[in-house]
Chain A
């Protein structure tokens, strides 16, 4: 089973992603902030990571670069509640960039395309 790490600081959105991705047949790990997320990444070695850009402790882009320094290949999906970063070159190191929505169809499709 493929392992996905969801890093998201909004409790109920994190729960939603977990519940929905489990239904899709993935093994889902979650982290509520960037630090937790980085530790989980090191410990669990997931197959794909989704990161919320706006988090309290560190922004998601910074976290992505931290992970990218160690691992050039792991698929990373960045997302925000707003489209404001889509033109921002600092997000280019991500494999996909998404605007958060209550409809997870796009997220599920992108995950599938990246790790199956």
Chain B
């Protein structure tokens, strides 16, 4: 092909042309930032089509720039709007949940103040209510913070086996206190390293919430089983399973909603946070509760290609 001077102001078009020529294949480059030499930022799809002559030699390239700036702006504002609506709903619920403990705290504090001012005694039991309700508020706030953090996930390549092992370490003393054992079962066909793209910190939080629930549902002497298994192509499955009190079928769809809890001191945010984190990792979470066994099933995408090969080689 003859040499031509190819230039579009504010777009590194040569780079894209080189790529296409190298592979001899037409290609669309999506969402490319283009300035066209002005201060206004544009986003375009670059469509590079190769023209070949009868001898299958490259004759030229057709370049189409499709300005999608407005479309993207619209998409983004719609997303923001949805997020805001969701946040508004959540805020209303949170303030509801916060008001009850606050009334108990304030009410008992006022009562204590009045008693002390008039030289009367204050019952320790009443002060304990203030302390307990304060702890409940703190737990609610800790968990709601995760909603706002979840968007800033720092994705890295991590070995999910290590993540699970660390979870078990962290929660082992809680398990001991409840006299429950935790076992990790790693599928024989799995490689030593099962790599996914994600945030270890967030996933640990997600799994610990699940393991903690399992411990709380178990009877003394029971075992909580964690299974790591091969999933469908390109996926890995983690199951967290316990015996003990099951989830009634009418509650199955409610347990992931914020503030649904059957526990005296539960915030009901554990599973909500867990689900958000799994969804942020493009995964899925499901639950089955039958006879006396409850199992939460999490599916996560594996880090691309290389590890899939790993998988099938060993499998």
Contact = CB atoms under 8 A, between A and B. Distances in A.
Interface string B82-120: 000000000000001001111111111111000000000
A3 interface: no
A16 B99 contact: no
B110 A81 contact: no
Interface SS of chain A: helix, strand, loop or mixed? Answer: loop
Interface in B160-200: none
B285 interface: no
A104 interface: yes
A87 interface: no
A82 B99 contact: yes
Contact of A82 (B96, B111, B126, B129): B96
Contacts of B126: 19
A15 interface: yes
Interface SS of chain B: helix, strand, loop or mixed? Answer: helix
Interface string B29-62: 0000000000000000000000000000000000
Interface stretch (A30-38, A61-69, A95-103): A95-103
A16 B104 contact: yes
A15 B132 CA distance: 14
Interface string B15-41: 000000000000000000000000000
Contact of A102 (B103, B129, B132): B103
Contacts of B108: 12, 16
B133 interface: yes
A104 B106 CA distance: 10
B104 A13 contact: yes
A104 B107 contact: yes
Q: Which of A10, A15, A81, A102 has the most CB of B within 10 A?
A: A102
B100 A81 contact: yes
Nearest to B123: A19
Nearest to A101: B103
Contact size range, B: 10 to 19
Contact size range, A: 10 to 19
A10 B110 contact: no
B246 to A, nearest CB: 20
Given A12-B133, A15-B129, A102 B107 contact: yes
Contact of A20 (B105, B107, B109): B107
Interface in A4-37: 10, 12-13, 15-16, 19-20
Contact of A16 (B96, B111, B132): B111
A19 B104 CA distance: 12
Contacts of B102: 102
A14 to B, nearest CB: 9
Contacts of A104: 107, 110
Interface string A86-111: 00000000000000111110000000
Contacts of B100: 10, 13, 81
23 contacts: A10-B104, A12-B101, A12-B104, A12-B108, A12-B129, A13-B100, A13-B103, A13-B104, A16-B107, A16-B108, A16-B129, A20-B107, A81-B100, A81-B103, A100-B99, A102-B103, A102-B104, A102-B105, A102-B106, A102-B107, A102-B110, A103-B106, A104-B110
Given A13-B107, A16-B103, 17 more contacts: A10-B100, A13-B100, A15-B104, A16-B104, A16-B111, A19-B126, A82-B99, A100-B103, A102-B102, A102-B104, A102-B105, A102-B106, A102-B107, A102-B110, A103-B106, A103-B107, A103-B110
